Structure 1
Amino acid sequence: MAERILSPTGSRRRLSAEDRRSQIVETAAEVFIENGYQGTSLEDIAAHAGITRPLIYHYFRDKDALYLEVLTRARAALDAAIIDRVPADASPEEQLRGGIEGYFHFVRDHMHLWELLFGGGTAVAGAVAEEATRQRFETSEKIALLVSAAAPEEPALRANAYAHAISGAGEALTRWWQHHPEVSLEEIVELHMDTVWRGLGPILDSLG
Structure 2
Amino acid sequence: MGNLADILDFDPAEGPPSERMLQILTEACRLFATRGFDGVSVRDIAEECGISKATLYHYFPDKDAILRPLVLGITRALHLHVAAALPQDAGPVERLRVFMTESVRFFEQHRWAYIVSSTVFWTDPKLRHRRQRIEWRDRHEALLRGILADGVEAGVFRIADIGMAGRLIFGALNWMPKWFDPKGPLSGTEIAERFLAMLLDGLSPR
Q: TM-score, normalised on structure 1? A: 0.64
Correspondent of 2:190 among 187, 191, 194: 187
Higher relative contact order (CA 8 A, sep 6+): 2
Question: Do 1:28 and 1:70's aligned partners in 2 also have CA atoms closer than 8 Å?
Answer: no
Correspondent of 1:6 among 4, 7, 15: 4
Once the two structures are TM-superposed, the CA of residue 78 in structure 1 deviates from its matched residue by: 3.2
Number of the residue aligned with 1:104: 104
Once the two structures are TM-superposed, the CA of residue 5 in structure 1 deviates from its matched residue by: 2.1
Once the two structures are TM-superposed, the CA of residue 104 in structure 1 deviates from its matched residue by: 1.8
Q: Spell out, residue by residue over 1:121-155, the C-alpha distance to the aligned partner (whole angstroms, 9 max, x if none).
A: x3598546x9789948843641322432664698x
Number of the residue aligned with 2:174: 171
Question: Do 2:105 and 2:189's aligned partners in 1 also have CA atoms closer than 8 Å?
Answer: no
Once the two structures are TM-superposed, the CA of residue 172 in structure 1 deviates from its matched residue by: 4.6
Which runs of structure 2 are paired with 1:105-144 in the superposition (5 Å)? 105-118=105-118, 122-123=119-120, 127=124, 135=133, 138-139=136-137, 141-144=139-142
Number of the residue aligned with 1:39: 39
Change in CA separation of 1:31 and 1:141 when aligned onto 2, cut-off 3 Å: same
Question: Do 2:31 and 2:40's aligned partners in 1 also have CA atoms closer than 8 Å?
Answer: yes
Percentage of pairs with the same residue: 25
Segments of 4+ moved more than 6 angstroms: 130-134
Number of the residue aligned with 1:49: 49
Once the two structures are TM-superposed, the CA of residue 113 in structure 1 deviates from its matched residue by: 3.3
Give secondary structure in 1 for the equivalent of 2:145: helix
Number of the residue aligned with 2:76: 76
Q: Spell out, residue by residue over 1:14-52, the C-alpha distance to the aligned partner (whole angstroms, 9 max, x if none).
A: xx9742344432332233234432232222323333444
Give secondary structure in 2 for the equivalent of 1:74: helix
CA distance in structure 2 between the partners assigned to 1:104 and 1:153 by the alignment: 21
Question: Do 2:79 and 2:139's aligned partners in 1 also have CA atoms closer than 8 Å?
Answer: no
Question: Do 2:46 and 2:52's aligned partners in 1 also have CA atoms closer than 8 Å?
Answer: yes
Correspondent of 2:146 among 125, 138, 148: 148
Change in CA separation of 1:160 and 1:85 when aligned onto 2, cut-off 3 Å: same
Question: Do 1:24 and 1:56's aligned partners in 2 also have CA atoms closer than 8 Å?
Answer: yes
Give secondary structure in 1 for the equivalent of 2:4: coil
Number of the residue aligned with 1:162: 165
Number of the residue aligned with 1:19: 17
CA distance in structure 1 between the partners assigned to 2:201 and 2:138 by the alignment: 19
Q: TM-score, normalised on structure 2? A: 0.64
Question: Do 1:144 and 1:159's aligned partners in 2 also have CA atoms closer than 8 Å?
Answer: no
